[in-house]
Structures are given as C-alpha cells and as structure tokens.
Amino acid sequence: MLLLLAAIFLLHIACICLLLTATIHNAWWMNNDLSTDIWSRWTLSGGNWNNTEIPAHYPKDYLQAVQASSVLACIFCILGLFVFVAQLYALPKGRRFLFTGAFQLLAWLCIMIAASIYTDIFHKQDSGWYGASFILAWISVCLTFISSITYCILRKKTA
C-alpha cells in the first residue's frame, strides 16, 4: 500500500508540474517569428525576442476565462496535494481520499475548460501550430482525470 501511495503522490506532483508549466510557459501558439501564450505575445525581430501585448482582436472575455481556469486548475491541484497529505493522518480509512479526489476533479474540469476554450476560439485563421504549453495542458487534462479517478477508487480500499 505504501508503494501505491508513493506512486499516486508522484502522479500528483507530475500533474502540478505540468499544470504550472502549461500556465506559465510561453508556447500556446507558435510560428517562425511568433510565440503566444495566455499572458503575452513574443515576436522575433532582429534576432531578439520582444515581449508585446496580446493583440486587440483577441476576445478578451475568452482570454480571461482561459487565464482564470488555468490558474484555478493549478490552485486546486496544489490544494489537493496538501489535502492528500493531511487526509493520510486525519481521516479514517473509508473516507480518506474523497476530498483529494474532489480537488483533482475540479482541477481537471478547470484545465479542460481552459484548453477547450483556447482550442475553439483562438487562432482559427492564423498560420502556425500549437506549442508545447498547449500540448502540456491537454496532457494535464488526462493526468488529472486519471488522478481524480484513482483517488476515488483508492477511497474504497480498506487494507
């Protein structure tokens, strides 16, 4: 059981790292001379990357929804880790990981909303490709969902 808890703990840490990287890193949309994330845009001019504002034609409401959902996913995942450690010592075995599973499910929902909105609304007419942060966001969707289901299944274990 201790090995299982250690593996789940490492999965949770991996989810946190991926969520933070996807939220902070500057590579949601890219082309040869442009890199855009959910916070700013970087353009290549004269061999140097220059930080610029997000263009005015971006729908600000949707962009703020993506930003808020990404940050909330990080917060819920980090809170879930603290709740996981606290529940190991505080709750009886039958109800041990229910709250952690709920926090992970909320993190999954938030990052799925952020990645879905970004996929549907932004860069439909632009030439380029989705960057590493966008791909990490979708990997985070999968891992946080697996983690939340694992916590809910582990809640039923009595041994």
Cα 100 to chain center, whole Å?
A: 16
Q: Tell me the whole-structure pTM to 2 decimals.
A: 0.89
DSSP character at residue 91: S
pLDDT of residue 159: 46
DSSP character at residue 48: E
Mean confidence (pLDDT) of the chain: 89
What is the dihedral angle through the alpha carbons of 149, 12, 110, 20, rounded to the nearest 10 degrees? Answer: -160
pLDDT of residue 11: 94
pLDDT of residue 148: 92
Which residues, given as ranges, of the chain have pLDDT below 70?
Answer: 91-95, 155-159
pLDDT of residue 155: 66
Which CATH code, of 1.20.140.150, 1.10.3720.10, 3.40.50.970, 2.130.10.10, is assigned to 2-29+60-154? 1.20.140.150
CA distance 107 to 130: 22
Structure tokens at 122: 């932004």
